[in-house]
Amino acid sequence: MADLAGLAQTVDDAARQASAIPQLTESAPLTPEQSYRIQALSVGRRLARGERRVGVKMGLTSRAKMIQVGVSEVIWGRLTDGMRIADGGTLERTRFVHPRIEPEVAFLLRRPLSGELSPVEALAAVEAVAPAMEVIDSRYRDFKFSLADVVADNCSSAAFVIGPWAAPSSDIANLGMLLEVDGRVVQVGSSAAILGHPLRSLVAAARLSGQAGEALDAGWIVLAGGATAAHPLAAGMSVRTVMQALGSVALRVA
């Protein structure tokens, strides 16, 4: 039987030491249940070190990314306060293996959410929405992985930054957005790329984390998923996402 706790330590150590590892499934196959268990155990190690759970991230939420990985279902990971960077703050390049950044829409929940919901029901639990960016950093060599590997690795989540919160009455169905590096546009996208509407990602978050026995909690953040391809980060870069109607969010890479 697979040593899930040992595999969780392997991915957690790789993240802490910013050192790339071979894919876990090179040694033995993993079921989806085992992959999510490894993820939970690995994030549990962060919590045991004093980090606090602050939400979930949704992954593979665009058709392009699903096709790339050959799946038709979104995946989800766990966010902790240790992964959060202040808006306009600094990310230390040396703490990551091969980080990339992607623009996202973030939800802040005013009350718990779980199970099968309509988008309207999900929206009723939203306190605010914001422009955001996720830093993804696969702990696997060459950023290459199977679906089971990436789930075990907390869906590549490494850091995130949230911009100004706005009332949930903002229409977020089709917001244009630009990802800029040093003032130059490197990606252009729309929030419609996130499952057709970011609220669908929130609905999926409630369903999937409910199935795992973890209701989304009041005060949690839900990162709805990348709206463009992710852009590689290098030291010295200033990165900003500008989102129609919601404003901008930025960080610097030191």
Determine, following the binding rule CB under 6 A, whether residue 14 of this chain makes contact with ligand 0L1.
no
- Binding at 42: pick from ligand 0L1, Mg ion, none (beta carbon under 5-8 Å per type): none
Residue selected from 60, 109, 162, 251 as contacting ligand 0L1 according to rule CB under 6 A: 60
Site string for Mg ion, 90-129 (x = CB under 5 A): ----------------------------------------
Does 136 help bind ligand 0L1 (rule: CB under 6 A)? yes
- Residue 84 CA to residue 81 CA, distance in Å, equals 5
Q: Which of 12, 134, 153, 180 binds Mg ion (CB under 5 A)?
A: 134
Sequence-distant (≥ 6) Cβ neighbours of residue 217 within 8 angstroms: 109, 112
Separation CA 125–CA 112 (nearest Å): 7
CB-count burial class (<10 Å; 0-12, 13-18, 19+) for 182: exposed
Nearest approach, Cβ of residue 233 and ligand 0L1 (Å): 13
Site for Mg ion in 222-241 (CB under 5 A): 226
Return the residue of 156, 187, 201, 209 that touches ligand 0L1, per CB under 6 A: 156
Are the CB atoms for 55 and 224 separated by under 8 Å? no
- Our CB check for ligand 0L1 shows the closer of 156 and 241 to be 156
Site of interaction with ligand 0L1 (CB under 6 A): 59-60, 65, 134, 136, 138, 150, 155-156, 225-226
